Amino acid sequence: MEIANLPISPSHRAKLLSAGYTTFSSLSAVSPSQLARDLNIALQEASDILKVVSDITRSESLHGGNAILKGAQTAWDMLSEEQMQKRITTGCDDLDTILGGGIHCKEVTEVGGVPGIGKTQLGIQLAVNVQIPVEYGGLGGKAVYIDTEGSFMVERAYQVAEGCIMDTLDKFGHHRKVILDCQEQMQPNSFLANIFYFRICSYTEQIAVINYLQKFLAEQKDVKIIIIDSVTFHFRQDFDDLALRTRVLCGMSLKLMELTKTYNLAVVLLNQVTTKFTEGSFQLTLALGDSWSHACTNRVILYWNGNERHAYIDKSPSLRSASAPFSVTSKGIRNATSQCKRVRMM
């Protein structure tokens, strides 16, 4: 029994065993106050015991000798961590709602839609919104924007940054001190300077940049979002070896998922749509869907509903299928202007 080997006083050891704590793992989720109650000892003594246990389990896992897997977390830890995660707002309340508050860090979100629906607009909006200072409820982070199609227009990014700053300051108007502190940051040019922009012109450059990001992100700790606009454009040409294409796409998606977990950031992949002939008719589907569909955590489709732009959650392990309207204005992505019922569950 592991407890028997703990370097603590014999009376404490005996109390642990009679209270039912026989292994180290049984002590991993208990708080000092609870242990103090169970053993009928002082709080400080309980803390000391737990500290000894955690020191030993840590050193044992380094030597590979413990039952607890290195790097494993309990589900409880993961849930509390996730609930503390800040989300990146999209600028539209309804869209944020169906996304569970906004774009999640540590997750890969794919956003697809027809040309002109607003994919690039959303990409630029997120690259701006991630920078909203912590004092204003944002993440205060920086963005990496990988442009594969040449859709990123500086003048538009400037407009969106300006709109975001204006609306944020409006919302927090009465907190004078906060405004003064962040004055330098809250300028459109500062926002633009915090976007690390990569323009790539071929699929090999795309792979190269994603590989480069590993080193880059280790140095730039502030980056909280990576946007790729669009992820499949360079893969839609003829590949002599389709198996190669699948391998490359899989490798790329694994690498991106690894980046989200390692650096605790969000990855947003913008994707094009194509038509697939299924069940006797042409259906809209995301490009390279078959080789790619497992690669993202969440999938959002942007589409036209009459004259209004809508988004719906196509796939997600945690979000419900729902749709929400949004609009693209001169300031960026904002709430839709229609009066009808907003978020619809499907």
Partner 1 sequence: MLDPHPTSFLSQRRLENGKDAMVPIKPESPLNLPTQKLSLGCPVLDRLVRGGLPVGSVTELAGESGTGKSQICLQLLLAALRPPSLGGLSAASLYIHSEFPFPLRRLRRLLTPFAPSSVVPTPLDHIFVRPAHSPDDLLSLLTAVDALLARPPSALPVRLLVVDSIAALFRSEFDNTPADLKRRSSLFFKIAAKLKEQARRFEAVVVVTNQVVDVVGGSESYGSSGNAIRVGNYGSLWSSGRRVCPALGLSWANCINTRIFLSRSDDIVRNERALVDEESDDRVHGTVVRTRRKMEMVFAPHLPEASCEFVIVSEGVFGVEAQRA
Q: In sequence order, what are the residues at sequence separation of 6 or more whose Cβ sits closer than 8 angstroms to the Cβ of residue 260?
A: 105, 106, 107, 108, 266, 267
How far lies 126's CA from each of 56, 65, 88, 134, 139, in Å? 44, 44, 7, 15, 11
CA distance 106 to 87: 10
Mark the segment that binds partner 1 (CB under 8 A) among 92-100, 170-178, 259-267, 275-283. Answer: 275-283
Q: Which is nearer to partner 1, 22 or 190 (CB)?
A: 190
Reference 114, options 273, 237, 326; nearest CA is 273
Residue selected from 122, 248, 270, 295 as contacting partner 1 according to rule CB under 8 A: 248
Beta partners for 333? 328
Tell me, by CB under 8 A, how many residues bind partner 1: 62
Q: Closer CB to partner 1, residue 27 or residue 157?
A: 157
Residues from 182 through 211 that contact partner 1 (CB under 8 A): 189, 192-193, 195-202, 204-205, 207-209, 211
Stretch that binds partner 1, among 12-20, 91-99, 101-109, 274-282 (CB under 8 A): 274-282
Of 66-74, 78-86, 97-105, 155-163, the window that binds partner 1 (rule: CB under 8 A) is 155-163
Q: How far is the CB of 62 from partner 1 (least distance, A)?
A: 28
Please say whether the beta carbons of 268 and 104 come within 8 A: no
Q: Which residues pair with 311 in a beta bridge?
A: 302, 324
Three-state SS for 229?
strand
Among all chains, which residue has been given the structure tokens 């924007």?
145
CA distance 45 to 241: 65
Q: Does 80 interact with partner 1 (rule: CB under 8 A)?
A: no
Residues 108, 267: Cα–Cα separation, whole Å: 5
Which of 43, 134, 166, 254 touches partner 1 by CB under 8 A? 254
Residue of 303, 322, 327, 343 interacting with partner 1 (CB under 8 A): 303
**Nearer to partner 1 among residue 172 and residue 303 (C-beta):** 303
Toward partner 1, which CB reaches closer, 171 or 282? 282
Instruction: Tell me which of 43, 251, 261, 338 binds partner 1, using CB under 8 A.
Output: 251
Q: Which of 64, 72, 155, 173 binds partner 1 (CB under 8 A)?
A: 155
Answer positive or negative: Cα dihedral of 63, 68, 69, 70. negative
Verify binding: residue 116, partner 1, rule CB under 8 A: yes
Spatial separation of the C-alpha atoms in residues 29 and 235, rounded to whole Å = 47
- Could you say whether residue 157 binds partner 1 (CB under 8 A)? yes
Cis status, amide bond into 25, omega within 30 of 0: no
266-271 and 108-113: which strand pairing?
parallel
CB-wise, 16 or 328, nearer to partner 1? 328
CB of 154 to partner 1, least distance (A): 5
Task: Return the residue of 233, 263, 292, 326 that touches partner 1, per CB under 8 A.
Answer: 233
**Binding residue (CB under 8 A) for partner 1 from 58, 171, 175, 247:** 247
The position carrying tokens 């009928």 is 40
Q: What angle, rounded to 10 degrees, do the helices at 119-129 and 154-171 form?
A: 50
**Cβ atoms within 10 Å, residue 15:** 19
Residues that bind partner 1 (CB under 8 A): 114-116, 120-121, 144-145, 149-157, 189, 192-193, 195-202, 204-205, 207-209, 211-212, 216, 233-234, 236-238, 244, 247-248, 251-252, 254-255, 272-275, 277, 281-284, 287, 303-304, 306-307, 330
